[in-house]
Structure 1
Amino acid sequence: MVFDPFKKNNVTVLNGSNKDKTIIFAHGFGTDQTAWQQIAQTYSDEYRVVLYDNVGAGKSDPAAFSPNKYDTLQSYADDLVAICTTLAIKDAVIVAHSVSGMVATLAAIEHPEFFSKMVLIGASPRYLDDEGAGYIGGFDQPSLDGLYESMANNYFAWVSGFSAMAMANPERPQLAQSFADTLAAIRPDIAQSVARVIFQSDYRTSLKKLDKPVLLLQTKHDIAVPMDVANYLNGHIKGSKLKVVEAEGHFPHISAPGEILKELQNFI
């Protein structure tokens, strides 16, 4: 079945008349394009702003998700390529959070003409530790197996606990609740399938193929992506710059949008 990219990924375009300057915002697991609402509007006067929902999340077409198709991040990269092709995008800035960091990387390697600069927030090429290679990803396999089991046994209880840990900022519980709401809105079977694909992925060998100006943004404490991963990305993406922002948790664009905007303005 052939899907219209706009309907499939619930694409939103702000200031669509500006074809000269485009900025794309790509969300991470458990959120949707609304995660960028505090940042995207800042650019809507100067840029054509493109937002979308990954298949399986937000208001993407439910019929488009298949665990057999979306068994690697390449399928999500293919969706990003289809969106860029449909909009005739060239030399856009892409701001990608979490898993979308590697999705954007794959798309940029395949179609470098789409992007001029890349900002990767809390990205990781591999979440599993690799002791043989001296790589610290932040998780071992038993921990991930326990995560999958918790998701399967009582998804909504898992959502409540995970959202609070990932968002951090306990003094602002409304932030964790907002994340819990978007996470709980995902069909549990889809969430479990996507989580496995993300946490079992390994795109370390792809990093050397990326040839774009890249800004890596990392918080001081992130339960999903430790500082070791940010340093690894910085060491393996040619010419990349790493900035540790004044924020806590895995979602600084939500908890500290001013910090992210400051770094975006300096970079682009």
Structure 2
Amino acid sequence: MKRMIIATATAATLLGLSACSSGSSSDSPGGSEAAAAVKAQATAPEGLVKAGTLTVCIDPEYAPLEYYENGTSGEIIGFDADAARALAGYWGLEFATQVTTFEGLQPGLTSKRCDIIPGGLYMSEERTAVLDGVAYMQTGPALIVGTAVQTDPAAEKDLCGLTLVGQNASENLTEAKRIAADCEKAGTKTPVQQYPKTSDTVLAVMNGKAGALIETDVAAVDIVKKSSGKLRLINGFFPPSTKFGMFANKDAAITAPLGEALKALHADGTLGKIAENYGLSTDSLNVY
């Protein structure tokens, strides 16, 4: 038990990830200089959860998109968090976070505990059927393997027989289950594990409980970089196939202003500066 506690703490430190309690809210003026420099340029949207404030539902355990600056405390920073701060500045609003688990993001939005979800969510057909989304970044799944996998998988059939892992309620978990189902149709049992937090999925691979993790490409680079050589990224295994989006409730008053504001912040270079601040390529930004 003591060894597991130490391993968990180590993984959290390496990845800049943290446990977060559902329902907490905080005003958060920090973030990058680019986000802080944005001045009011447009009328604030109507129908906000709290007048004068942009409230976002966020799961701060997903570097470099959203995470606590001190690992488990401090300001919530990252590309998505700072982009949302920039939106608040653009509308002349205060900025507040409603912290939840990944699984709680969409319920938090639909129950009107927040105005938008700023990121880490694919623009999937299933999600856009029930929420309004504005795309802002090209992305897709990436494959991470542990040291127990000796050769680089080149095709999905090479994952057959491994234990795959993904985060609860994520499109990446759906992808892992699809691959496992294909493997089992071909006669090879391929277990799939799932955990509530990204840090749990990473720890499963680092500890050898799972052989491969499917993650988004943006997060995968950061995860592998901070794993002290215990994980490696299989470049090009999955092609970029979708986009990250910022989401609002269906037909919400904020939807059109959200799209206009993101386009403006992209055009004036604000989103590009925020991306560069977190080591992301500006080429991946795609706002429409």
TM range, smaller chain: 0.3 to 0.5
TM-score (normalised: structure 1): 0.35
Q: Which has the larger radius of gyration?
A: 2
Higher relative contact order (CA 8 A, sep 6+): 2
Structure ranking higher in helix proportion? 1
